[in-house]
Amino acid sequence: MPVCKACYNRCAVGKNFGAETCASCAAFFRRTVRLKIVYPCKNDFYSCRKDAVRFVSAVHACRKCRFDRCIELGMNPGLVQNPRPNQSKLSLMPKEVVHSFSTQFPLISSMTNVLRATLLDRCITSDARLTIGTSEPASNFLSYNVYRRLTLCEVKKYREMLDYSPVVCELNKDVKDAIFRNSFALALIVVQVHFNLKHRSLGFENKKKIYIFPNVYFDLDPEKLLFFFASHKNPQSLAGMNDCLAIARQLSRNLQFLQEIGLQSNAFYGTYEDIAALTLVAIIQSNDVPKGNMEWQRPMRRLKAVWNEVDLYYRMTQRDPSQWGNLLFLLSNMQTFIQNHEKFRKLLNVYYGKTMMDKIESGQRPEETIAQLMLECTAN
């Protein structure tokens, strides 16, 4: 097996940007050039040595030295192409497919198509090497920055989803952004509960863990969550270890409550139609329409027709009528979780500064805010 002269790993080597390197170094070089990242040198023997990536791992190796070696080998930044416009599965779906009309469930059927495009491509694997969590070794440890990046990806998907959601897709961008800011926190909970239930159904059940994204979990033990908060590198942070432990305990309580919500939710996550109905109801519940704003009131009235569809859907699928009340109770619990989490975010604001969720909620242009936060995560 050949050795890559940029990272000294034994792996397949090919011609990348004018030099013989491995695919990993090619991706590293492309990312660095595209994002115009300037890495500081660690000035450490173990991190800066030529074979650091191989023996210290890419996480701890000096990225400046690695990039310098790429340049020395002849990799040409001019050969790096600009990124192509993002083409998600949603953007590739024809409008007539996304909004396929069903005489009985027009809203639910349209939202189901949108959800299928966003959730079906989420791979859950039993390969332990691909699992990220707060009790994993260094290479797979769920750090604060990794969590931020994953959450931003989910929030970005939800914003994109609104562009294809029934009724909402017809609104102007400002109204969409307002609906997004009001509903993304609740929608994120709906998705996280879905992933946790999905893991449980595949045999990943563990009372001491809660899965929030595919193959990504939090421990419920505050002692293990302590390292998660300690991984937040912020030179201006006021948090000491005792503060981190107090924050970890608060997060642990919130996550335990979220896990209890998941246990109550099995009946509402059986099919994509169930999740679609729940998502639409979540959008309605989290958007209190300002009086006099007719531009906002009309679409909300149209969306509220989903209640009639849910009623018909439950009767056609021979559901227990009491599930109506259970659905409202579930949404109430989710909103309670969000309120508790807002208190937790205020605690984070004291020690770590403004959180990314607060920045998204307060930003006038959510897409620009998300893009900026993604760049910050990549730079870190």
pLDDT value at residue 138: 81
Residue 238, pLDDT > 70, answer: no
pLDDT value at residue 223: 85
Determine the Cα–Cα distance for residues 368 and 356; give it in Å rounded to an integer: 13
pLDDT value at residue 101: 42
CB 215 within 8 A of CB 146: no
Determine the Cα–Cα distance for residues 85 and 166; give it in Å rounded to an integer: 24
In one-letter notation, the amino acid at residue 7 is C
Determine the Cα–Cα distance for residues 192 and 211; give it in Å rounded to an integer: 7
pLDDT value at residue 178: 84
Determine the Cα–Cα distance for residues 367 and 337; give it in Å rounded to an integer: 25
Using pLDDT thresholds of 50, 70 and 90, give the confidence band for residue 250: confident
pLDDT value at residue 368: 81
pLDDT value at residue 98: 45
In one-letter notation, the amino acid at residue 215 is N
> Phi and psi for 201 in degrees, rounded to 5?
-70, -25
pLDDT value at residue 348: 75
pLDDT value at residue 162: 86
How crowded is the C-beta side of 314, counted as CA atoms within 13 Å? 19
- Using CA atoms, how far residue 123 sits from 132, 214, 215, 216, 269, in Å, is 14, 7, 8, 11, 18
pTM: 0.68
**String of DSSP letters for 199-229:** HHHTT---TTEEEEETTEEEES-HHHHHHHH
Scored b (16 or more CB within 10 A) or e, 307-342 reads: bebbeebbeeeebeeeeeeebeebbebbbebbeebe
Tell me the per-residue pLDDT of 80-107, one tens digit each, with 9 for 90 and over.
887 665 555 555 455 444 444 456 778 8
Other beta carbons within 10 angstroms of residue 32's beta carbon come to 20
Give the percent of the chain with pLDDT over 90: 0
Tell me the per-residue pLDDT of 273-296, one tens digit each, with 9 for 90 and over.
888 888 888 888 888 665 556 666
Using pLDDT thresholds of 50, 70 and 90, give the confidence band for residue 45: low
The larger pLDDT score, comparing residue 10 to residue 114, is at 114
Residue 380, pLDDT > 70, answer: no
Give the percent of the chain with pLDDT over 70: 81
Residue 272, pLDDT > 70, answer: yes
Bridge partners (DSSP) of residue 16 are 19
pLDDT value at residue 191: 85
31-37 contacts at long range (C-beta below 8 A, 24 or more positions apart): 31/378, 32/63, 32/67, 33/77, 33/80, 34/80, 34/82, 34/83, 35/375, 35/378, 35/379, 37/378, 37/379
Mean predicted lDDT score pLDDT of the chain:
78
Residue 217 CA, distance from chain mean position: 12
340-343 contacts at long range (C-beta below 8 A, 24 or more positions apart): 340/253, 340/254, 340/257, 341/185, 341/254, 343/250
Most confident option among 42-51, 77-86, 156-165, 358-367: 156-165
Sign of the Cα torsion 147, 150, 152, 155 reads negative
Could you tell me if residue 215 is left (phi over 0), alpha (psi between -120 and 50 degrees) or otherwise beta?
A: left
pLDDT value at residue 241: 72
In one-letter notation, the amino acid at residue 21 is T
pLDDT value at residue 234: 61
188 three-state secondary structure: helix
CB 204 within 8 A of CB 187: no
The larger pLDDT score, comparing residue 31 to residue 318, is at 31
Q: In terms of DSSP bridges, do strands 216-219 and 132-133 run parallel, antiparallel, or are they unpaired?
A: parallel
The larger pLDDT score, comparing residue 50 to residue 373, is at 373
Average pLDDT of the residues in 213-235: 80
pLDDT value at residue 38: 75
Using pLDDT thresholds of 50, 70 and 90, give the confidence band for residue 11: confident
- Using CA atoms, how far residue 49 sits from 52, 56, 60, 343, 349, in Å, is 5, 9, 11, 45, 38
The larger pLDDT score, comparing residue 141 to residue 300, is at 141
Residue 10, pLDDT > 70, answer: yes
Tell me the per-residue pLDDT of 288-346, one tens digit each, with 9 for 90 and over.
665 556 666 777 778 888 888 888 877 777 777 667 677 778 888 888 888 888 877 77
298 three-state secondary structure: helix
The larger pLDDT score, comparing residue 58 to residue 245, is at 245
Residue 180 CA, distance from chain mean position: 15
